[in-house]
């Protein structure tokens, strides 16, 4: 693990948090992006937390240089909640950063520091786990293996003990349910880590769905960042997209995004469907959370809901997805290979509630067919 931040307070704080975790080690704590670029090959970290604003070489400039020296390095961009930093974070995602994390304005505020602590450790652990799963069995370069080989046990007998055959444990096949017999009337999407890029890819290909049906999205993301994401979704889809406003009427032709720091639900207002935002406590450690949106939609569209769970940490969306399926709707999950983190979609898939588990590029064509009346 490599921590890169010009603030000695932030470097020390993150380093102490990581050192307290049994499965994490701080390999380097550095002040500038230039230091990181110069030392990344020697340090050889799996994950780097990279500040945006630093002297000598800032984070967005250091990012491509770090990836050029270590292609599979997981980089988490860290920044305060300003519009400029949010825009830079989105640019970093397009340049190869795996994720971003907002830094609190002051680490003296206990609640903000605790959220930062929890989110950072979860992101490092989830993203780092994927690196370890996909790493080759033996190093391709001259780097030593991560763990030295075990020393042989002392000899106890000249006759070697027979070794029991090792059973090959195949993963259990994931259950897939038939799609709902109803043609869907609303598209609900939940996502987290890796979600912004996945969402932009998806909405670019589902214009025919957006034009005719309500599309509501909850992405785990703080305020300001959701403002920027809505602008990116509008550009990618060539359709109106904005942060949802409490009380506004939901209509086809527009993408509604849950604003950072507020849960988004839908409610009945006479013959119309309206947005309801609330400032309640986090759900599944998230605010906004996917489950409140999924659950609230059942009273409106019953079995006419098609929900999509994209890449992300945790299990948010699984409980709401269960309720959607119980009401007669359908759920699609992104597959593991194309997910940055297969937490949320994996939870839905392993719960047996999905009618399809698809690579990202196959989800949009499937949605277009389903909303056109195809039931297969």
Catalytic residue positions?
A: 192, 220, 316
With contact defined as beta carbons under 8 Å apart, do 70 and 311 qualify? no
Q: Which residues contact 19 (CB under 8 A, 6 or more apart)?
A: 25, 26
Query: Taking the CA of residue 67 as centre, how many other CA atoms within 13 Å lie in the half-sphere pointing to its CB?
Result: 16
Residue among 121, 96, 118, 93 nearest 3 (CA): 121
How many angstroms separate the CA atoms of 83 and 260, rounded? 13
> Running DSSP on this structure, what letter comes out for residue 67?
H
Torsion angles phi and psi, residue 150, rounded to 5: -70, 140
β-pair type (272-278, 263-269) = antiparallel
How many angstroms separate the CA atoms of 122 and 204, rounded? 30
What are residue 103's DSSP bridge partners?
80
Cis previous bond, 288, omega within 30:
yes
With contact defined as beta carbons under 8 Å apart, do 37 and 43 qualify? no
Buried b (16+ CB within 10 A) or exposed e, 7-36: eeebbebbbebbeeeeebebbbbbbbbbbb
């Amino acid at each position: 693990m490599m921590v890169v931040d010009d603030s000695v307070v932030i470097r020390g704080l993150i380093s102490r948090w990581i050192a307290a975790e049994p499965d994490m080690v701080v390999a380097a704590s550095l002040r500038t992006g230039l230091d990181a670029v110069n030392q990344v090959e020697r340090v050889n970290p799996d994950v780097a937390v990279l500040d945006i604003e630093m002297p000598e070489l800032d984070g967005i400039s250091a990012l491509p240089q770090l990836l050029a020296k270590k292609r599979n390095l997981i980089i988490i961009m860290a920044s305060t909640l300003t519009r400029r930093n949010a825009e830079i974070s989105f640019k970093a995602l397009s340049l190869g950063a795996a994720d971003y994390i907002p830094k609190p304005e002051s680490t003296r505020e206990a609640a903000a520091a605790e959220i930062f602590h929890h989110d950072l450790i979860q992101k490092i652990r989830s993203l780092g786990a994927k690196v370890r799963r996909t790493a080759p069995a033996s190093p391709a370069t001259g780097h030593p293996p991560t763990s030295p080989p075990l020393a042989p046990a002392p000899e106890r007998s000249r006759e070697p003990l027979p070794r029991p055959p090792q059973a090959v444990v195949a993963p259990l096949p994931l259950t897939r349910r038939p799609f709902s017999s109803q043609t869907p009337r609303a598209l609900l999407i939940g996502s987290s880590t890796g979600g912004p890029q996945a969402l932009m890819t998806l909405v670019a290909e589902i214009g025919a769905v957006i034009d005719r049906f309500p599309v509501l999205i909850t992405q785990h993301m703080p305020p300001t960042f959701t403002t920027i994401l809505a602008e990116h979704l509008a550009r990618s889809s060539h359709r109106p997209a904005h942060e949802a406003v409490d009380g506004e009427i939901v209509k086809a032709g527009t993408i509604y995004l849950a604003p950072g720091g507020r849960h988004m639900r839908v409610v009945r207002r006479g013959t119309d469907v309206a947005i309801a935002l609330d400032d309640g406590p986090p759900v599944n450690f998230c605010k906004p959370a996917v489950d409140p949106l999924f659950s609230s939609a059942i009273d409106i569209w019953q079995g006419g809901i098609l929900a999509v769970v994209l890449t992300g940490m945790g299990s948010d969306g699984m409980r709401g997805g269960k309720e959607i399926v119980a009401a007669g709707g359908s759920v699609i999950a992104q597959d593991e290979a194309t997910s940055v983190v297969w937490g949320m979609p994996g939870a839905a898939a392993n719960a047996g509630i999905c009618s399809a588990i698809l690579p990202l590029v196959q989800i949009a064509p499937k949605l277009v067919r389903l909303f056109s009346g195809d039931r297969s």
